Amino acid sequence: MKAIRHFAAVLITFVSLTPAVFAATFVVPPDREMIRRADAIVIATPLASFTQRSDDGGIETVTPVRVEEVLKGQRIPMSLTVVEPGGEYAGEAQLIPGVPRFNSSERTLLFLTRIGGSRWVVTEIALGKFSFHAESGTPLLLRDAGEITGWDPDLTPHRERMRDAAGFLQFIRNESRGIVSKEDYFAVGGPAAESFGKPAAKSLGTLGIVPLVAPYTATSYTMLISGTRGGRWATFPNPVTWFSGATQEPGAPGGGVTAINAAFASWDNDCGSNVNYVYAGTDTTHTQGLHAADGANTILFERDLSSWGVAPFSCSGNSYSGTLGVGGVTTASGTNVVNGETFATNTEGDVEMNRGIANCTLLFNNGDWNSAVTHEVGHTLGFRHADQTRDSAAACTSDPSLECSQQAIMKSFISTGINAALQVWDQHAVQAVYPGNVCAPAGGCTAPAITAQPQSVVINAGGAATLSVGASGTSPSYQWYVGASPNTASPIAGATGPSLTVTPASTTSYWVRVSNACGSANSATATVTVQNNCAAPTIRAQPGSGTIVGGQGTIAVLASGSPTGYQWFQGTSGNTSVPISGATTNELTVAPSATTSFWVRVSNACGSVNSATATVSVTATVPPPTSAGVIKSDFDRNGSPDILWRYATGQNYVWFMSGSTQIGGQYLPAIADSNWHMEGVGDFNRDGSPDILWRYYGTGEIFVWYMNGATQNGGAYLPSEPDVNWVIGGVGDFDGNGSPDIAWRNKSTGEDRIWLMNGTSILNVIALPTISDTLWRMQAVGDLNRDGTPDIVWRYFGTGQNYVWFMRGTVRVPGQYLPTIADTKWEVGAIADLDNNGSNDLVWRYYGSGENYVWFMNGPTQIGGKYLPTIVDVGWRMTGPR
């Protein structure tokens, strides 16, 4: 087991997404040409993927693959790292519909290109990945046809065909050895790959110039960009300015500008919409394109896309092949609303056309070049493919909420012969997402649009609430309804203005329809929640105190009573003279230059409560590294920490260790009820011997075994925690009073806290920052940065990332990522100094095969490692010290 990669960014505090979305257009080369282009071809099985920052500041997805057979390539290792652009990382997202998608443990055939060192990408993006399938018992190899947008080299639309697995693999082996073979491996009489297991497409009717109501929701015509939201520009009808780069497209009409103008004319001139893209000439200073935001909307020609595994476009006198280009939304920020639907707001779009297209007369002499540029420009407006789902993962017909078409500019492969002209689906999409009659005469009717949604509120029983809506359009009228939008069964008599005051006896939903002669717009639903048993908030966990070495620290509070509002103050509790601007959540990050006190007031409609005072002390002296915080769990008293185990049937065992070598062991008393979990090690009775902490996950009871060496010598109950969603993450002395404290995580809410202890009594409950994503789990508590105070080790069971919260007392200060282990069957089981260097090490157990491994650490840096004896039976769980 080894770490894959180090990370620099922090993912613990989540922020709103700022994604990029784009798609690629291909001219699909023959298989023989694909074999020639690939540096390696392998049969492999992907393992768990994870994301990280790319060298140019973007996001990339890293997928380790286990190689089964090498079909082409020299000295190819049996495990490879495949890197593709896109993914979600540190609160940012980048979605590229043309990039291959990997399913863990799915056997695949990969054409690969080396991009430096041990990094590989799939050759020609989606074209180089095939999956194994079977129809009527025959093994087949299929591309992800839904990701392929383009033509064959003979200018006909590409229709992906299924390949007989055995025949295609033999063809690859022969061609890789220089043996020319027949391409006779295509499945005879079988369906095209894009129809494999999918129903027939729905048909479309005709479209009037200005439809009164779009056939489907506006969101349904867009690609996913932030959660379930699509993206749209909020600027129109004001212009959005575009530029081409300094490099023109040699041989193309107007150097490529003719195709740009054709694309803009098609999208701008639809009468039922208000798109207004404007071409403003060349710009030589903004050159990032889709690789990174640079503040300009650009269409760039002859671009190097090799960092994405894309070779230059190939064009000869009678054919061409390769990736034509990519286009889409580079950045989006904030939200906007149209007709009651909320979208991410596009702020920059870009198109990059591949190098090698220059002087490709065969391509330029037909309207499909214009259609290809128009297609990519459509992605910058946020539109999905007309024949695919919003995430490009399946046929459009698999989702009944979507309108589908096989003849559209936005079809996943370009419809030939339409020369950039919008088709019925394209018109529906642009009119739904960008409503506005640009063909109407001056002073004519403008359809209504919602500009400000009515907001949900909470009131006390007997109270009143006022809802209001903002709308644009010519002479709008209003009608409010009870119920969920757009249910018109319960109109409210006389509620015909932009605001509505209500006094419901129980929780009730409302919405409003805004209408005029040109159409109507429905608001979102606003819910007025009535609190019948209102109670003032109470504080469940107080903000903590600690000493930081300059820099910043984070404190928090946990409160009950809903809804709650927060306001932090500087000073001692109750002193409201120095409110902190913007500090209105349950967490506060501060960077005081001198020792400062803080507190928070928690309020709701029924009252308020003040927290205790939290003091953040500041010192300019960096403490020297110390081994005072190493875990002392020496049960056989030989000077080395030992490792605890618990078996599914109730047996308990301790490995006696000498450094990192097991030298013996001993059974401890058995506890047959598997609801009892070993949770940590600490000297709770202060007799110099480590004790063992237990939690009963049936009723929430907590018990400590007092130990005399490896012999149980009595015990005591601690206060219970009946809510078994609270799980113990580890044990450590956070307040430095000589008693081990207990760190907790709520696996349901993501809340975190510490019980400060005096022996087996609780002195105080301290809140830690909340991590709402419950795939982050506390794995261990121990001092990793050698400052003498315990830190908290986290593992993300979605991607395998590992992170440490550095703690100063009960104040969290900036932490750092540890090496990633993508396979989430590896878990931290113990933390202890096993190489006797004064730094705590991390001990891992693999719950797939029973292997055990120790990371030797120097502070928070891994400096080596060693396998420990394997316990194949994964019913044995490593349980501490932690």
Q: What is the mean pLDDT of each run of 10 residues along the chain (882 residues)?
A: 24 27 61 91 88 77 89 89 77 63 85 88 86 79 62 58 91 90 77 40 34 67 87 91 92 88 85 86 90 90 85 75 82 88 92 88 76 90 90 82 88 73 87 77 72 87 84 86 90 88 92 83 92 82 90 92 84 94 92 94 87 92 67 88 95 95 95 94 93 94 95 94 95 94 96 96 95 94 93 95 94 93 95 93 96 95 94 93 80
Alpha-carbon span 820 to 862, nearest angstrom: 11
pTM, whole model, 2 decimals?
Answer: 0.47
> Which value, to the nearest 10 degrees, does the dihedral of the CA atoms of residues 126, 130, 131, 136 take?
130
Whether the Cβ atoms of residue 146 and residue 73 lie closer than 8 Å to each other: no
- CATH number for the domain running over 219-431: 3.40.390.10
Beta carbons within 8 Å of 101's beta carbon, 6+ residues apart: 144, 147, 393
Residue 668's DSSP bridge partners are: 652
Rounded to 5 degrees, φ, ψ at 174 are -65, -50
pLDDT in the model for residue 470? 87
> Which value, to the nearest 10 degrees, does the dihedral of the CA atoms of residues 515, 520, 525, 530 take?
10
CATH class of 643-880: mainly beta
pLDDT in the model for residue 94? 61
CATH match for 449-531 among 2.60.40.10, 3.30.70.141, 3.40.50.800, 1.25.40.10: 2.60.40.10
Give DSSP secondary structure letters for 506-543: S-EEEEEEEEETTEEEEPPPEEEEEESS----EEEEBP
Domain with CATH 2.120.10.30 in the chain: 643-880
β strands within 606-687, DSSP E: 607-610, 614-618, 643-647, 652-658, 661-668, 676-682
Beta carbons within 8 Å of 775's beta carbon, 6+ residues apart: 796, 797, 798
pLDDT in the model for residue 154? 52
Whether the Cβ atoms of residue 628 and residue 560 lie closer than 8 Å to each other: no
- CATH number for the domain running over 20-195: 2.40.50.120
- Count other C-beta atoms under 10 Å from residue 688's C-beta: 9
Mode of pairing for the β-strands spanning 240-244 and 297-303: parallel
Domain with CATH 2.60.40.10 in the chain: 449-531, 538-618
Token pair 């993206």 is found at 231
Distances (CA, A) of 562 to 36, 459, 559, 619, 723: 64, 11, 9, 38, 19
Three-state DSSP at 178 gives: coil
Alpha-carbon span 790 to 777, nearest angstrom: 17
pLDDT in the model for residue 519? 76
Domain with CATH 2.40.50.120 in the chain: 20-195
Alpha-carbon span 733 to 788, nearest angstrom: 10
Rounded to 5 degrees, φ, ψ at 167 are -65, -40
**How many residues can be counted in the chain?**
882
Architecture of domain 538-618: Sandwich (2.60)
Alpha-carbon span 448 to 520, nearest angstrom: 6
pLDDT in the model for residue 178? 86
Mode of pairing for the β-strands spanning 20-27 and 150-151: parallel
Whether the Cβ atoms of residue 521 and residue 447 lie closer than 8 Å to each other: yes
Beta carbons within 8 Å of 766's beta carbon, 6+ residues apart: 541, 542, 543, 544, 734, 753, 754, 756, 810
Token pair 């109501």 is found at 213
Whether the Cβ atoms of residue 33 and residue 321 lie closer than 8 Å to each other: yes
pLDDT in the model for residue 20? 42
Whether the Cβ atoms of residue 233 and residue 345 lie closer than 8 Å to each other: yes
